Amino acid sequence: MTGTHLIAVAAIVTVAVLLPTPSAAQLNGQNIKGDAGRKSGSQPPPGAYVVVPLWFYTADAVKDQDGRELLNGSLDSSVFGGGLLVATPNTLFGGRYGFMAVVPGANNRVQGSADFDTNPGAGLTDLYVQPVSLGWTKPRADFIAAYGRYIPTGRYEDGARNNTGLGHWGRRCSSALRSI
């Protein structure tokens, strides 16, 4: 590459890096905002634990990326339920083995950018099973690596206004670190 080509490439890279570009983002996962425990990086001591997810979210306005309002009224959403988390004293790859299953309920599911139902009635949503959770405890940090599946057990019919499930299988591979 000649010196002229190198200068041209450097100029293009500099312009591309320095020019502002619009961006948009949203939570695009199957976890609840602010959730802790499984994502906190620390596995509990060996034992069986009751898991009680409870989450409530309300919004007075829902807007698309251009600022257009998509919902006339408010959106209230909640998740609730119960489950079991087991942390064993057994190890695999040096990490303590655990597993979890949660049977959650929900009062609605947002299925698309313009598909909101503010009150479809509560019902069973998709079952979450985590057959593998490995936790490592080190002197200055804790680590977790886990694999889970969402099983479509919630009420779902394409285009229905009262869905509580998403109508498809999902998976979640997660890892977390907590500094001590």
In a domain, 6, yes or no: no
In the chain, what percentage of residues exceed pLDDT 70?
A: 73
In a domain, 81, yes or no: yes
Average pLDDT over residues 90-108: 89
- 136/176 Cα distance (integer angstroms): 11
In a domain, 92, yes or no: yes
In a domain, 18, yes or no: no
Domain limits for position 96 = 28-179
Indicate the pTM of the whole model: 0.64
In a domain, 89, yes or no: yes
In a domain, 159, yes or no: yes
In a domain, 173, yes or no: yes
Q: Per-residue pLDDT tens for 6-38?
A: 787 877 777 666 766 555 544 445 555 444 444
Q: Per-residue pLDDT tens for 61-76?
A: 777 778 887 766 666 7
- 153/169 Cα distance (integer angstroms): 9
Which residues on neighbouring strands pair with residue 105, listed in sequence order?
80, 124
In a domain, 65, yes or no: yes
Domain count for the chain:
1
pLDDT the model gives residue 134: 92
**pLDDT: is 20 or 159 the higher one?**
159
Average pLDDT over residues 119-134: 83
